[in-house]
Structure 1
Amino acid sequence: MALSYKARRRWSLVVLLVAMPLYIVVAVNVVALFERPSLLVELLVYVVLGVVWVLPLKGIFKGVGQADPDAEN
């Protein structure tokens, strides 16, 4: 069952305002658990974690910035 445009907009706001800050805190704490081997490894971990969060949520964000396709002119 596909989400409506309004539902996708609402869920995208929830993800960006609630889930994303929580994910950032978790990511920073996970990186802090490891001893810092080098700056490049730490940067690579942050880049990977920065891309991984969006993969399962791609469907929610797809088309949210466009005009409502179901709205009448």
Structure 2
Amino acid sequence: MALSYKARRRVALLVLVVGLPVYIALCLKLVSLFERPSLWVELAIYVGMGVLWAIPLKSVFMGIGQPDDQADDNQDDV
């Protein structure tokens, strides 16, 4: 079952406000468990984890910045 436009907007907001800070804290904790590798290895870990969080949530964020296609023309989206 596909999420409606409003539901996708709410889930996206929840992910950005709550989920992303939690994920960042987990990433920092994970990297701190290892002895500091070289700068390039650490940078690669952060970039990889930075891209990794968005892949499963791609469908949630698709079209969020666009106006709702299924909204009535009579209603203004505020």
Deviation at 1:65, TM superposition (A): 0.4
- 1:47 equivalenced with 2:47 (yes/no): yes
Question: Hey, which bits of structure 1, 4+ residues long, moved more than 3 A?
Answer: none
State the partner residue of 2:22.
22
Distance 1:43 1:37 in 2: 10
Deviation at 1:25, TM superposition (A): 0.2
Distance 2:37 2:70 in 1: 52
> What letter matches 2:35 in structure 1?
E
Deviation at 1:58, TM superposition (A): 0.3
**Structure 1: gaps spanning 5 or more residues:** none
Aligned length: 73
CA radius of gyration, larger in: 2
% of aligned pairs identical?
58
> What letter matches 1:61 in structure 2?
F
Deviation at 1:37, TM superposition (A): 1.8
**Structure 2: gaps spanning 5 or more residues:** 74-78
Give the TM-score, by structure 2 length: 0.91
